[in-house]
């Protein structure tokens, strides 16, 4: 990777991390805080407050992607960070559940994922793009693990209002990263015809390879959310680990998974085995679900299966958006990533809802077996995909060879 590519990956990963830390650190403590708010004893409203962010994200990812293709990546990212910060400050001022929901809705209007990933694609050559996406994915995973450790202490010291204020401040810090650390975006000679966005969206939705990849990210996040409906109770019931100590498993597992994913990722890119790694990662996901069904008997076995899950998850989280940018029409990358992120958000919602229903009626085994079946369907869908070779001669960004 060139210096510009490395700078792009690290700075965009930092930007993502600043934004996601504010989101993740709320999750472990909000349900505890909610009863102190007027109306916060209604669990339905508490669930809406947590999920409202994801709903507006899902609705706006495609429009943000289209806008990023037409008007430039950094402008759209700036607008999204400002909206996200505004929503955070509204939620910080809330004394009832309804204003909290309003703040979370406004936070969700800062749907910048597609624009950030498109900018990462603009600033990196295709043969190094998966590494860049892995940097961004690693920053999210590390921040998630960190939030599990920080959330209880932050809640004790600054309260939920302070956490929301911190979230807004971190978003504003992301603006400084965007303009001080992220390399300048390449000049995009976009057409500004009124139907340009519609044409780009139509091309994206008609592309069979993009449809395969979008199904993949849908399946991946459905499996993730369904799993984590039942994994925490397993850690309590079978491993004897109280909820407050679950980070003792998650943190080392997540960190080790990043170390284990690097060698196969680099080898696949070097020797042209990306397709084999992709399908192997799906197979590993299926094996994990079967293992959790039949051989999750204690702390060690559950931790081993979780390690396998996160290795496969991280590899696929890096590979899929990279492949989307390779397959997408050159002037519709952000649009394609908008569709990708919308599908991802829907997978999170659907996986949680379906996982809850399956757990209620069929127990943890039903959740894991359904996830394994979904993984097999994904493997069948992905088996016929064509991975285009990277354009090694692509010159992206200033100062790149």
Confidence of residue 197 (pLDDT cuts 50, 70, 90): low
- The whole-angstrom distance between residue 19's C-alpha and the CA centroid of its chain comes to 12
Task: Supply the mean pLDDT for the chain.
Answer: 82
pLDDT above 70: percentage of residues in the chain? 90
Between the alpha carbon of residue 357 and those of residues 50, 344, 346, the distances in Å are 19, 20, 16
Identical topology for domains 1-184 and 206-386: yes
253-288 residue pLDDT tens: 888 988 898 888 888 777 777 788 899 999 999 999
pLDDT value at residue 240: 86
Distance CA 398, CA 297 (A): 54
Q: Where are the domains of the chain?
A: 1-184, 206-386
Distance CA 324, CA 207 (A): 11
pLDDT value at residue 309: 93
Helices and strands, number each (H, E), in the chain: 13, 0
DSSP 184: P
CA-nearest of 12, 27, 215 to 114 is 12
CATH fold of 1-184? Growth Hormone; Chain: A; (1.20.1250)
Confidence of residue 397 (pLDDT cuts 50, 70, 90): very low
Nearby residues of 306 by Cβ (< 8 Å), 6 or more positions away: 231, 249, 250, 253
Q: Tell which CATH architecture fits domain 206-386.
A: Up-down Bundle (1.20)
Task: State yes or no: pLDDT of 104 exceeds 60.
Answer: yes
Mean pLDDT on 321-349? 81
């Amino acid at each position: 990777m060139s210096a510009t590519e490395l700078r792009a990956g690290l700075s965009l990963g930092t930007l993502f991390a600043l934004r996601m830390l504010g989101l993740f650190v709320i999750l472990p403590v909000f349900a505890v805080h909610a009863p102190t708010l007027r109306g916060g004893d209604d669990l339905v409203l508490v669930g809406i407050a947590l999920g409202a962010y994801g709903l507006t994200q899902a609705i706006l990812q495609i429009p943000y992607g289209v806008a990023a293709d037409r008007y430039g990546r950094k402008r759209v990212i700036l607008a999204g960070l400002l909206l996200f910060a505004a929503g955070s400050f509204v939620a910080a001022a809330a004394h009832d559940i309804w204003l909290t929901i309003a703040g979370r809705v406004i936070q969700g209007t800062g749907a910048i994922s597609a624009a950030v990933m498109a900018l990462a694609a603009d600033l990196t050559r295709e043969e190094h793009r998966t590494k860049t996406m892995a940097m961004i994915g690693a920053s999210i995973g590390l921040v998630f693990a960190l939030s599990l450790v920080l959330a209880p202490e932050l809640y004790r010291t600054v309260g939920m209002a302070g956490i929301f204020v911190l979230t807004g401040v971190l978003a504003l810090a992301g603006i400084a990263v965007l303009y001080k650390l992220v390399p300048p975006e390449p000049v995009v000679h976009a057409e500004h015809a009124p139907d340009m966005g519609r044409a780009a969206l139509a091309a994206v939705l008609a592309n069979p390879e993009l449809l395969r990849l979008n199904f993949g990210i849908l399946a991946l996040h459905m499996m993730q959310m369904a799993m984590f409906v039942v994994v925490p109770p397993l850690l309590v019931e079978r491993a004897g680990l109280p909820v407050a100590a679950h980070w003792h498993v998650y943190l080392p597992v997540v960190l080790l998974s990043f170390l284990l994913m690097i060698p196969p990722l680099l080898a696949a890119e070097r020797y042209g085995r990306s397709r084999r790694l992709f399908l192997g990662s799906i197979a590993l996901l299926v094996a994990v679900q079967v293992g959790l069904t039949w051989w999750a008997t204690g702390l060690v076995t559950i931790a081993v299966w979780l390690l396998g899950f996160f290795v496969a998850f991280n590899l696929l989280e890096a590979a899929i958006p990279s492949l989307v940018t390779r397959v997408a029409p050159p002037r519709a990358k952000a649009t394609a990533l908008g569709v990708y992120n919308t599908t991802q958000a829907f997978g999170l919602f659907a996986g949680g809802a379906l996982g809850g229903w399956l757990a209620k009626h069929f127990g943890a085994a039903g959740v894991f077996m359904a996830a394994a079946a979904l993984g097999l369907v994904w493997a069948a869908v992905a088996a016929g995909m064509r991975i285009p070779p990277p354009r090694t001669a692509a010159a992206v960004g200033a100062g790149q060879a």
